[in-house]
């Protein structure tokens, strides 16, 4: 390594150096750079430039005290004086008071060296929301500054071979491969960088041979970036994250364009079965959407696309196959065989994925089974049921719900076809969670009058200034969490009975229950005077929510049957787009089994978080790859008990299990015989 | 392995089995399949189907004699009777008399088993022409028949993961990767093959992780194929070879379409320097040509393109870089730095190479230096100077000549810019070696009348039936070996003097020396009466040959200077398109240093042969990769002695060294002062 002197073996008479917070210590010869001492002791001190005083990653803070047997060491004696390289860096970028560059400061006497968190390679990133677990940075792609030998006519070797030699000599990286599409860039970058360049090396695993995926003439000071992508049936969400510290730089989402081929998974499988080029059309659509989303989010984050060298993708099995160009037909029929289930490392070009570095690596998390995908694996990685003493039920609400149930001793998984209602699709006034969407609803049990809040505004609709606050977005529709609250509140207010029927104005005593043909709808917001929407909850909306929540409950119940329990210790609600479902309302609906309300928590987009964890950490990838093999898969599609639970769970809340943790609900019944007689009955008629 | 019984440990009372020709022997329990016994002893007995009686690769021939201590074993007693599997195979494809399938026949008594050559995995392929070395088959891609478990809903794994399991259990292949573009095919092939399929696995080295590059529902009985490609500046030649036995199935060639951007290497480098998109244009041109050539030759060979899973490419550094999409500008100026010099394994898609299996692996041999390419490495692999006791000069004649000089102790290499004259380009009547081209010329020293032969016809032009024999092709031009013979014969016949001047009719005594302005041309063939060409050797042609042969000789001489010798023990002439240069005529021209004529041999297209050896053998690839690091590179472009040798070598033969092995040449001189005063002089004028 540059600047590393060849020193004689140190003895106990040499200065003592103690690194904090690790406490690692050793004696080093006078003149040893702090970075060198840290490396020899295995202290977690970062360096991208390898001690050239360029990257400033190795900042340390010396401190002094009476620990030395030689007595107190003064600040002046312990380390070499501030040198020209440090001064240049301080002038250019500013160095915090007391900080030194570990590669420049050399040991002169006994000293305690504090390694600040940001100088550690394996930084711990504390998640702000729902901090179930921390992420320890261990990214697959890293930067290395190297000095490459200039070509010598009399000892001819290729530029690439001299790059390899530099990585061997300067970073002890013995062998690399090189992405072929990088060949054309090598010469120009080396010459532009005057033979000092920064190599980006990607590894698929801790012990894998690194691949050279890019070369930069200068050190990219911001470090590298990656995309964590949650590819859902209805929505696609992505976070652009720093690979230095896991920070989210920008987030964005869009509707899955495959919706035009079918709202839910089985419709898309059918489309592939019925149309010879159907699967290929859907593959092209989702790949194009991913490229567009990447370009948009990278532009939003004002990041150089060349620095985005990683992406991780979580998705259900049908999305997984369509993304990979595999016909999903096999997933539509028993035995629901996946073409491939293990985690995948692909080149961006394998997926025609543009918008970022063309040699970026795409990591797709492993699938668990034909109906339990990489999204469920990601939820498991994020929520860690396998490390819990409590029996945890984790429900990832999407067009297909991923359900995990388990504790330290075992984890079970299944998926349940809830349909897109929870995401606001197939709901009369539904929309995806975006500014303007109603996300919270409260209905006064006496007046039956609603109040609500919309995404992008902190005020409730009956608070002063609401109209002004939403002037730009308006009230545009109702999102998934909004419709769940609306239906639950309608049940609480006695507007809806246990069978899911909306009462008439006479039965409910409010004109907001508006007759529409043979049924009624409940008016939440009428914006028609200002040419805005009229937002209601229709009888059809309630039926859609009933079908969705019955499917969800039936899946959870099936896993409980497998383990042989009637209750769970805690429930975690997760869902795409971080839609925060209210635990109380979810329980009123009967989406989930009964649990103490303080044991029902919302985890935001756990699948997306799993994608982000995998993006930041190779060891997390190894963990999820091992974990999926330990999860027991339960197949709902062919299980007769699933149908039984599904039918029995139609009531609001369902009638098969008590809900001791809920308040008593109004004893109303609006069934008038001739009208809608309930989802379950309707469903049976349909089946004839 | 299928059909392999679990037997107790054999003892010396069990039957003795001796395999020939290896002589390996051992005792085996009665009932042990011959294939199992062979595997346990490490006998080289092939099997693609793993003992399923499908592939017939494990054919053996039992023989019997008095070797047994139990006395003579009869044919009936030694092996199990011919069984139904063997009978079915014999009925369907025919089994030679006495042959058995090693996987079906089990050991019943003492027996000698002959393993015929075609049943050995590592077959020796004896090269017919110029059998300098044999090829031992060791291809990078192999076929494996596997029985894959059907999917089980209750123990869900991917199809690919069950393929991996089958390879582990049935072939002891512990880990594979899978080409992503194969994912979409896995499901259909497995189901079409009813879960018994043939996997094609490619390895980049003996100890590398194999990659699954294709899956076939049936066992491809012909085995796999590969393309050995010699990508020259002027011509591209390719052989389609069996990866089972190295046999050439079809051969073809075409002109390098980059010629329109410049005749020789430096013109193309200039084109890249002068035109912003120049390199990209040339890359696209050569890639398209390779794809077209592959499609043509595979169609000619009537081979399924999916079975062509390999290609090897040899080329000079400029072609190498343009093929890879690398700007060759750096190769046009000191220090002539290559972007990458090591051998490369690329996917066909990396080079936009179509016409064969889309997941075929392309192996590009290593380059030696900026002016000494993979073609020189291939010549070294083919001709093996490093294994020779004699000091060998190997000259690969092309637009750029690759020159190797060495023996067991050391090998030197350089390249020399001969230009395209030796390939028939820049010659007035020149053409590439193809039917109709004059390839042999003889001129009667008394009458000065020529006779010649053309490619595609065994008769000389003065033999009976010649006109009829060439009726379809006609006489179309003169190829590289033809022009060399023509000029040398003109010198022998006194039509040309040592300075390279063609004499006048008066000076030479023949009307075939036709005045053309200030110089003369020699008429070989006049087809104008039949609307055919008039084929002559012009003064310009002789100057082009003089420049080419001077460059060639100067390169060889430079290497001899480096070693400090005045003569070499043997000379090997190699060249693209197997153009057989006559050793005598090459020496008369002074192309090569003096040597006993029986020590000057022609090796055909040695670079192409090197490509073919590398195609057939992973160990040959390892050998050439190690060899290039041992070769000392000599740079001609900046060596003043090269210019000196070049100028001094202008005469025919050159005047700087004696040629004791040549007959005395006519002492003529046609220099008339005012006319052409010789190539060297003309060259000097040009340089002003």
| Whether residue B423 has pLDDT greater than 80 | no
Residue with tokens 């929301």: A129
What is residue A127's predicted lDDT score, i.e. its pLDDT?
40
Say whether residue A152 is in contact with chain B using an 8 A CB cutoff: yes
Residues 305-324 of B with CB under 8 A from A: 324
Chain-chain contact of B156 with A370 (C-beta, under 8 angstroms)? yes
* pLDDT band, residue A93 (cuts 50/70/90): confident
Of all helices (H) and strands (E), which one includes residue B667? Answer: none
What is residue A10's predicted lDDT score, i.e. its pLDDT?
72
Tell me the per-residue pLDDT of B164-201, one tens digit each, with 9 for 90 and over. 999 999 999 999 999 999 999 999 999 999 999 999 99
Residues 560-619 of B with CB under 8 A from A: none
Return the residue of B nearest to A184 by Cα. B326
Mean pLDDT of A82-107: 89
| Whether residue B576 has pLDDT greater than 90 | no
- Is the Cβ–Cβ distance between A219 and A49 less than 8 Å? yes
Question: What percentage of residues in chain B have a pLDDT greater than 70?
Answer: 92
Chain-chain contact of B160 with A633 (C-beta, under 8 angstroms)? no
What is residue A675's predicted lDDT score, i.e. its pLDDT?
47
- Is the Cβ–Cβ distance between A161 and B340 less than 8 Å? yes
The two three-digit tokens of residue B462, written as one number:
């003065």
Write the burial class of residue A668 (CB in 10 Å: 0-12 exposed, 13-18 middle, 19+ buried): middle
**In angstroms, how far is CA B246 from the centroid of its own chain?**
11
- Is the Cβ–Cβ distance between A308 and A240 less than 8 Å? yes
What is residue B44's predicted lDDT score, i.e. its pLDDT?
85
Return the residue of A nearest to B283 by Cα. A184
Beta bridge partners of A254: A236
Work out the end-to-end distance of chain B between its first and last CA atoms, rounded to an integer number of angstroms: 76
Chosen from A149, A158, A162 to mutate, greatest number of chain B CBs within 10 A: A158
Nearest to B369 among A156, A344, A635 (CB): A156
Mean pLDDT of A1-12: 56
What's the helix, strand, coil split of chain B in %, to 5? 35, 25, 45
Name the CA radius of gyration of chain A, rounded. Answer: 30
What is residue A365's predicted lDDT score, i.e. its pLDDT?
98
What is residue A683's predicted lDDT score, i.e. its pLDDT?
41
Q: Read off the DSSP letter of residue A5.
A: -
- Burial readout B347-386 (b: 16 or more C-beta within 10 A, e: otherwise): bbbbbebbbbbbbbbbbbbbbbbbbbbbbbbbbbbbbbbb
| Whether residue A686 has pLDDT greater than 50 | no
The two three-digit tokens of residue A86, written as one number:
């440090």
Is residue B56 left, alpha or beta, with left meaning phi > 0 and alpha meaning psi from -120 to 50?
Answer: left
Say whether residue B183 is in contact with chain A using an 8 A CB cutoff: yes
Higher-confidence residue: A267 or B211? B211
* pLDDT band, residue A125 (cuts 50/70/90): low
- Is the Cβ–Cβ distance between A265 and A286 less than 8 Å? no
| Whether residue B627 has pLDDT greater than 60 | yes
What is residue B145's predicted lDDT score, i.e. its pLDDT?
95
Judging contacts by C-beta atoms under 8 Å, the chain B residues touching residue A176 are none
- Is the Cβ–Cβ distance between B298 and B257 less than 8 Å? no
Mean pLDDT of B216-227: 95
The two three-digit tokens of residue A655, written as one number:
């009638």
Strands B248-255 and B235-242: antiparallel
What is residue A123's predicted lDDT score, i.e. its pLDDT?
66
**In angstroms, how far is CA B267 from the centroid of its own chain?**
26
B434 Cβ neighbours under 8 A, 6+ residues apart:
B455, B476, B479
* pLDDT band, residue A78 (cuts 50/70/90): confident
Comparing CA positions, the residue from A484, A654, A645, A631 lying closest to residue A555 is A645
| Whether residue B47 has pLDDT greater than 90 | no
Residue A70's Cβ-side half-sphere holds a number of Cα atoms within 13 Å equal to 15
The shortest C-alpha distance from A127 to chain B (Å) reads 33
Average pLDDT score, chain B: 88
Tell me the per-residue pLDDT of A326-335, one tens digit each, with 9 for 90 and over. 999 999 888 9
Question: What percentage of residues in chain A have a pLDDT greater than 70?
Answer: 92
Residue A353's Cβ-side half-sphere holds a number of Cα atoms within 13 Å equal to 28
Q: Is the peptide bond before A21 cis (omega within 30 degrees of 0)?
A: yes
* pLDDT band, residue A657 (cuts 50/70/90): low
Domains and CATH numbers, chain A: 16-119 (3.10.20.30), 140-216 (3.10.20.880), 229-371 (3.30.420.480), 377-418+544-648 (no CATH)
The two three-digit tokens of residue B253, written as one number:
């060639």
Say whether residue A335 is in contact with chain B using an 8 A CB cutoff: yes
Say whether residue A340 is in contact with chain B using an 8 A CB cutoff: yes
What is residue B671's predicted lDDT score, i.e. its pLDDT?
77
Mean pLDDT of A622-638: 92
Q: Which of A116-120, A591-595, B3-7, B57-61 has the lowest mean pLDDT?
A: B3-7
Return the residue of B nearest to A346 by Cα. B180
Task: Note the residue count of chain A.
Answer: 688
Judging contacts by C-beta atoms under 8 Å, the chain B residues touching residue A154 are 635
Residue with tokens 């290559």: B338
Comparing CA positions, the residue from A390, A309, A336 lying closest to residue A140 is A309
Q: Is the peptide bond before B504 cis (omega within 30 degrees of 0)?
A: no
The two three-digit tokens of residue A381, written as one number:
């990685």
- Burial readout B651-671 (b: 16 or more C-beta within 10 A, e: otherwise): bbbbebbebeeeeebeebebe
| Whether residue A72 has pLDDT greater than 60 | no
Average pLDDT score, chain A: 88
Q: Which of A7-21, A473-487, A490-504 has the lowest mean pLDDT?
A: A7-21
Chain-chain contact of B156 with A342 (C-beta, under 8 angstroms)? no
CA distance B420 to B234: 7
Return the residue of B nearest to A630 by Cα. B155
A591 Cβ neighbours under 8 A, 6+ residues apart:
A395, A484, A549, A552, A553, A581
The shortest C-alpha distance from B161 to chain A (Å) reads 6
The CA-CA-CA angle for residues A390, A394, A395, to 5°, reads 160
Tell me the per-residue pLDDT of A588-601, one tens digit each, with 9 for 90 and over. 999 999 888 889 88
Q: Read off the DSSP letter of residue A33.
A: B
Mean pLDDT of A612-623: 96
What is residue B672's predicted lDDT score, i.e. its pLDDT?
63
| Whether residue A203 has pLDDT greater than 50 | yes
| Whether residue B133 has pLDDT greater than 70 | no
| Residue B60, φ and ψ in degrees, nearest 5 | -135, 165
Judging contacts by C-beta atoms under 8 Å, the chain B residues touching residue A330 are 187
Judging contacts by C-beta atoms under 8 Å, the chain B residues touching residue A363 are none
Mean pLDDT of B198-226: 96
Question: What percentage of residues in chain B have a pLDDT greater than 90?
Answer: 60
* pLDDT band, residue A432 (cuts 50/70/90): confident
Chain-chain contact of A187 with B324 (C-beta, under 8 angstroms)? no
Chain-chain contact of B341 with A157 (C-beta, under 8 angstroms)? yes
The two three-digit tokens of residue A443, written as one number:
């209905």
CA distance A314 to A320: 8
CA distance B403 to B512: 36
Residues 153-182 of A with CB under 8 A from B: 153-154, 156-161, 178, 180-181
Say whether residue B207 is in contact with chain A using an 8 A CB cutoff: no
Judging contacts by C-beta atoms under 8 Å, the chain A residues touching residue B350 are 180-181
- Is the Cβ–Cβ distance between B325 and A183 less than 8 Å? yes
| Whether residue A294 has pLDDT greater than 90 | yes
Which residue intervals of A499-563 are DSSP H helices?
505-508, 539-563
What is residue B130's predicted lDDT score, i.e. its pLDDT?
38
| Whether residue B658 has pLDDT greater than 60 | yes
What is residue A262's predicted lDDT score, i.e. its pLDDT?
85
Question: What percentage of residues in chain A have a pLDDT greater than 90?
Answer: 60
Q: Which of A632-636, B63-67, B561-565, B627-631 has the lowest mean pLDDT?
A: B63-67
Q: What is the pTM of this model?
A: 0.82
What is residue A263's predicted lDDT score, i.e. its pLDDT?
76
CA distance B215 to B198: 6
Comparing CA positions, the residue from A128, A420, A394, A14 lying closest to residue A255 is A420
Distances from the Cα of A428 to the Cα of A255, A419, A479, A590, B417, angstroms: 17, 15, 11, 22, 78
What is residue A687's predicted lDDT score, i.e. its pLDDT?
34
Of all helices (H) and strands (E), which one includes residue B62? Answer: strand B59-63
- Is the Cβ–Cβ distance between B382 and B365 less than 8 Å? no
What is residue B686's predicted lDDT score, i.e. its pLDDT?
37
What is residue B636's predicted lDDT score, i.e. its pLDDT?
86
Residue B184's Cβ-side half-sphere holds a number of Cα atoms within 13 Å equal to 13
CA distance A201 to A209: 9
Q: Is the peptide bond before B639 cis (omega within 30 degrees of 0)?
A: no
Judging contacts by C-beta atoms under 8 Å, the chain B residues touching residue A156 are 335-338, 341, 368-370, 633, 635
Higher-confidence residue: A291 or A420? A291
Tell me the per-residue pLDDT of B316-338, one tens digit each, with 9 for 90 and over. 999 999 999 999 999 988 899 99
The two three-digit tokens of residue A428, written as one number:
């009369």
Judging contacts by C-beta atoms under 8 Å, the chain B residues touching residue A368 are 156
Q: Read off the DSSP letter of residue A358.
A: T
Higher-confidence residue: A398 or B626? B626
CA distance A614 to A625: 11
Chain-chain contact of B337 with A158 (C-beta, under 8 angstroms)? yes
Tell me the per-residue pLDDT of B431-482, one tens digit each, with 9 for 90 and over. 877 788 899 999 999 999 999 999 888 899 999 999 899 888 889 899 888 9
CA distance A406 to A387: 9
Residue with tokens 């890639």: B287
What is residue A677's predicted lDDT score, i.e. its pLDDT?
45
* pLDDT band, residue A264 (cuts 50/70/90): confident
The two three-digit tokens of residue A600, written as one number:
């029902």
Q: Which of A20-29, A445-454, B192-201, B378-387 has the lowest mean pLDDT?
A: A20-29
Q: Which of A277-286, A483-492, B571-580 has the lowest mean pLDDT?
A: B571-580
| Residue B506, φ and ψ in degrees, nearest 5 | -65, -45
Q: What DSSP string runs through A605-620?
A: SHHHHHHHHHHHBHHH
The CA-CA-CA angle for residues A123, A124, A126, to 5°, reads 140
* pLDDT band, residue B430 (cuts 50/70/90): confident
Beta bridge partners of B454: B438
- Is the Cβ–Cβ distance between B467 and B384 less than 8 Å? no
């Amino acid at each position: 390594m540059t600047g590393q002197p060849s020193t004689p073996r140190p003895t106990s008479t040499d200065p003592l150096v103690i690194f904090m917070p690790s406490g690692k210590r050793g004696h080093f010869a006078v003149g040893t750079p702090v970075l060198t001492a840290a490396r020899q002791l295995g202290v977690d001190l970062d360096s991208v430039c390898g001690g050239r005083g360029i990257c400033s990653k190795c900042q340390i803070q010396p401190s002094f005290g009476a620990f030395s047997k030689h007595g107190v060491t003064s600040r002046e004696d312990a380390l070499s004086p501030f040198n020209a390289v440090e001064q240049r860096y301080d002038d250019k970028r500013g160095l915090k008071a007391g900080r030194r560059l570990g590669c420049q400061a050399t040991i002169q006497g006994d000293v305690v060296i504090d390694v600040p968190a940001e100088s550690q390679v394996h930084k711990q990133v504390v998640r702000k929301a729902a901090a179930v677990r921390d992420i320890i940075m261990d990214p697959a792609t890293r930067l290395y500054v190297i000095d490459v030998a200039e070509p010598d006519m009399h000892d001819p070797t290729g530029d690439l071979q001299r790059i390899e030699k530099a990585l061997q000599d300067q970073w002890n990286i013995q062998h690399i491969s090189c992405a072929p599409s990088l060949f054309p860039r090598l010469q120009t970058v080396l010459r532009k960088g005057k033979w000092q360049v920064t190599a980006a090396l990607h590894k698929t695993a801790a012990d894998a041979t690194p691949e050279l995926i890019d070369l930069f003439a200068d050190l990219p000071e911001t470090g590298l970036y990656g995309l964590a992508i949650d590819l859902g049936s209805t929505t696609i969400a992505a976070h652009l994250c720093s690979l230095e510290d896991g920070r989210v730089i920008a987030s964005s989402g869009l509707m899955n364009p495959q919706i035009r081929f079918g709202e839910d998974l089985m419709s898309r499988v059918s489309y592939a079965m019925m149309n010879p080029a159907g699967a290929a059309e859907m593959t092209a659509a989702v790949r194009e959407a991913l490229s567009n989303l990447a370009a948009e989010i990278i532009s939003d984050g004002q990041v150089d696309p060349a620095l985005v060298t990683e992406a991780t993708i979580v998705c259900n099995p049908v999305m997984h196959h369509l993304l990979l160009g595999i016909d999903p037909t096999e997933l539509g029929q028993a035995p629901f065989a996946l073409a491939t289930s293990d985690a995948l490392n692909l080149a961006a070009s394998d997926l025609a994925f543009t918008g970022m570095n063309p040699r970026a690596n795409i990591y797709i998390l492993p699938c668990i089974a034909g109906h339990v995908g990489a999204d469920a694996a990601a939820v498991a990685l994020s929520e860690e049921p396998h490390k819990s003493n409590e029996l945890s039920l984790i429900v990832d609400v999407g067009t297909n719900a991923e359900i995990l149930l388990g504790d330290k001793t075992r984890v079970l998984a299944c998926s349940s076809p809830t349909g897109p209602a929870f995401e606001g699709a197939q709901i009369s006034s539904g929309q995806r969670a975006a500014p303007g969407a109603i996300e919270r609803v409260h209905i006064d049990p006496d007046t039956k009058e609603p109040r609500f809040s919309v995404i992008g505004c902190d005020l409730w609709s009956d608070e002063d200034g609401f109209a002004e606050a939403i002037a730009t977005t308006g009230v545009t529709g109702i999102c998934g969490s909004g419709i769940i609250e609306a239906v639950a509140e309608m049940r609480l207010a006695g507007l809806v009975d246990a069978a899911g029927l909306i009462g008439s104005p006479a039965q409910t005593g409010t004109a907001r229950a508006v007759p529409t043909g043979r049924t009624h709808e409940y008016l939440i917001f009428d914006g028609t005077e200002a040419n805005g929407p009229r937002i209601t909850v229709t009888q059809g909306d309630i039926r859609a929510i009933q079908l969705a929540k019955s499917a969800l409950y039936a899946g959870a119940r099936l896993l409980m049957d497998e383990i042989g329990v009637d209750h769970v210790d805690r429930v975690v609600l997760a869902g795409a787009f971080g839609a925060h479902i209210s635990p109380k309302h979810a329980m009123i609906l009967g989406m989930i089994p009964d649990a103490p309300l303080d044991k029902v928590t919302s985890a935001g987009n756990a699948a997306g978080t799993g994608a982000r964890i995998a993006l930041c950490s190779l060891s997390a990838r190894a963990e999820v790859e091992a974990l999926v093999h330990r999860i027991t898969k339960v197949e709902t599609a062919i299980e007769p008990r699933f149908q039984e639970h599904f039918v029995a769970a139609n009531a609001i809340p369902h009638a098969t299990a008590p809900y001791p943790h809920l308040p008593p609900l109004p004893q109303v019944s609006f069934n008038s015989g001739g009208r809608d007689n309930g989802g379950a009955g309707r469903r049976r008629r349909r089946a004839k």
